[in-house]
Structure 1
Amino acid sequence: MSIQLVRNIFRQGYIQRVLNTTNSIAKYSSQLPSGDEVIDDAEPINIKNPYKRENRQCLLCKLNLTPDYKNVRLLSQFQSMYTGRIYGRHITGLCKTKQQQVEHAIRRSHQVGFMPRYHKYPEYNNDPKLYDPEKPIRPHPY
């Protein structure tokens, strides 16, 4: 390579870097403070907490549903398919009040005779799942 060719390549690269920096300065110059504005570094900057979790609502609260003992299809979602056991809060993801209302409605539905105690009606087995009992929202303590 000749020295002249190396100089031309260097100049082109240098010119390209200068053009890139001037373009980026022009691009962000509108966001820079003017000479009249004073930036006080002692003042805190108000930003949202990036680590804050969103407020989670249970499914029934989100849809504004109240469990009723006559709504067997909804209540059967919170009952085990094979044993008739009522799933706990750690599996269903319901808030405390809605979980108590669901349990009360299921027990009342059992007493009245709308729901069987030890299994689920087979026609409700293919309903879409509201949650996955195999993957609880929080692990069981034991």
Structure 2
Amino acid sequence: MKMCKVCRKKPRLGRRVNNEGILFCSDDCYEAFEDSPNDMDHPYIDDYDAVRFEYMEWTGRYEQKLMSAAGRNLQAVKEELVEGIESVIEEFRDYVSLEGTDGVFSAEIYEYLQELENLTVVIERWTPGKRSKKATS
């Protein structure tokens, strides 16, 4: 398992890479790394930041939304969440077709989109009272 280049922690949800593929556990460690190249000129940086943000947002809030809807309009909330995630995937569909083959950021975007696709399965299978588990393909 790769560790953060700065603090040596295991990267989790907020992980980040630079255009050389160096892994960081957070934006703070990314910014603290002195030898990092300037990623702001990379053509995929905006899409990478956007997909990374969407992934963190959806992953961090779906279960709370499902739990608050349990018993009332659970199916409607599930459908709303899945539709929202699918719209993100659709927005970045070009990266799905590239399958991560166009560099570090392309690979990261593709991985995040695959994880979002897996999240739709988790949401569809979710039932009240059980902790969510990652979907298996």
The TM-score by the shorter chain falls in which range? under 0.3
> Which structure has the larger Rg?
1
TM-score under structure 2 length normalisation: 0.20
TM-score under structure 1 length normalisation: 0.20
Query: Greater share of helix residues, 1 or 2?
Result: 2
